[in-house]
Structure 1
């Protein structure tokens, strides 16, 4: 998540600073992993226009990724498309608030100014001042959607439900909470092993088996919810294509949300674009999309298309936790 410790950020202007490795030839290049061929942005956007669902997979705190998402939306509009816009960062139950903002209905009260309408939406969504930096990333997309009267929807589960699953596990939810979930029946041992290791890595090597299991359950529930939301919008023809703004983990290897949408709608034409931060040291493009093998299962490259961007930071995020992890390891029972 983006840090807000530096003070308030203008909610309509995303921060622009990113850090670029010196002389990396991949910077701003687009590569199709099917054949390793570089593409121009115009060719990629033309391909987007011919699909049902486009994933614009981001690293949440990278300003360049959000600028490119905005570019994709504007380019499709200029091509005569009317995309629908779905967000991981908003819950399905918040869709009404989003729709009321982008397609306001006549009211008996005094019309709101643009600033008042924005603040009203933030209150409804629960995005307080502590989330100014994140808001600056996503609100420009909502502004364009409002300008063009596009359909907008939240795709994910509510934060409260995600927290409950991650703490308790799905089986210990109340009947009402269980009723809010849909189980698509996904069961893939190799993917589970892949994701469990990914979750351990995300926690800097800390492995609490019960926690990792609960996090994986949360992951599956979220993927199911997002896939159902996306499929419902795409099949209804509410927007073409449906642009999905989400974190890259949910689409890696054409799994997660991508695989679940294909399961729900086998005829869906999907395009999986990953905005990829460059490595700390330059390396060939193929190093980014080498196939991964887990339990004798070969997964596809992380994305169908890579768009290489600057990094937000060169620091190792786990460095600051090393001493804590060492203490935890030394105190753990043998």
Structure 2
């Protein structure tokens, strides 16, 4: 359910200035490049791999990996996809089939690998205790000690409701937003750590929902490290009908998938 919620949040986009991506050269020059995705769309991962080969980043940060999983990856593992999937325990991770992400791993080159996934227990606890209480570090750096503006809180709760097929009790919606804020801050912190250690550029592989420039990872990096140049790309399955909260965007055919809300009917 969490993966499905992320998928639908990735597809829910609202207004901000953005341009269609027409040339991979547009990705050059940023310290951090965030490559968004709809998790189960193979075309999105193929393009991420193409973008990484063009960028030759010094580090790649994965939403899908914990720091421990990332530390298990070796050159030998990268050369053997079946071994790699087994070493990092991908089949138990809840993510779509490893074959979808295999092109991304094949495009790593010499890049250092960082895992950004937070402990599941911390994310669960943030639902009750709030993002600031569970963040490992100074929560104020990423704005977690401050409440969201009322209009943003309302919008994000509505998005959480839609992402969960409108099946969640209303009382759970604010705390789901807190869990999302914690993950955004955790990803931002890991990206900045990778940038400090390697000098960049750094690529973040993540869902569109975490790539939003208005409140997600790019906004948190801007708050914590305003001198860091960030470029965020969203990938969609249909042409946007209004401006979207990314610097650049691209459209692919939709992935074939069953209706994830069918179980609630």
Tell me the distance in 1 between the aligned counterparts of 2:17 and 2:125: 40
* Aligned residue in 1 for 2:264: 321
Pick from 222, 230, 245 the counterpart of residue 205 of structure 2: 245
**Aligned-pair distance for 1:320?**
4.5
Structure ranking higher in strand proportion: 1
Gaps of 5+ in 2: 4-15
1:244: how far off? 0.8
2:222 is the alignment partner of 1:262: yes
Q: Is 2:262 aligned against 1:303?
A: no
**1:63 & 1:213 partners in 2: Cα distance?**
32
Per the alignment, residue 27 of structure 1 pairs with none
In 1, are the aligned partners of 2:233 and 2:246 still within 8 Å (CA)?
yes
* 1:138 matched residue in structure 2: 101
RMSD over aligned CA atoms reads: 3.2
2:235 is aligned to 275
Whether 1:185 aligns to 2:164 is: no
Distance 1:64 1:266, change over 3 A: same
Deviation track 1:178-236 (CA, whole Å, cap 9, x = no partner) reads 47465233332232222111100111122413322332221111111111011121234
Q: Which residue of 1 aligns with 2:129?
A: 170
Counterpart of 1:225 in structure 2 is 186
CA separation in 2, counterparts of 1:113 and 1:192? 41
Q: Give the TM-score normalised by the residue count of structure 1.
A: 0.64
Q: CA deviation at 1:47?
A: 2.5
Contact 2:44–2:252 (8 Å) recurs in 1: yes
SS in 1 for 2:115: strand
2:90 alignment partner in structure 1 = 127
- Relative to structure 1, the CA distance from residue 179 to residue 304 in structure 2 (aligned partners, 3 Å threshold; closer, same or farther) is closer
Question: What is the number of equivalent residue pairs in this alignment?
Answer: 247
CA 1:253/1:180 → structure 2, altered by over 3 Å: closer, same or farther?
closer
1:74 has 2:53 as partner: yes
Distance 1:196 1:132 in 2: 24
Give distance in 2, aligned partners of 1:253 and 1:65. 19
TM-score of the superposed pair, with normalisation by structure 2:
0.79
**1:138 shift after superposition:** 2.2
Deviates more, 1:58-67 or 1:309-318: 309-318
Q: For the Cα contact (< 8 Å) 1:250–1:256, is it kept in 2?
A: yes
Q: Out of 138, 153, 164, which is 1:203 matched to?
A: 164
Change (3 A) 1:263 1:129: closer
Unaligned segments of structure 1, at least 5 residues:
4-32, 105-111, 279-284, 290-300, 323-334
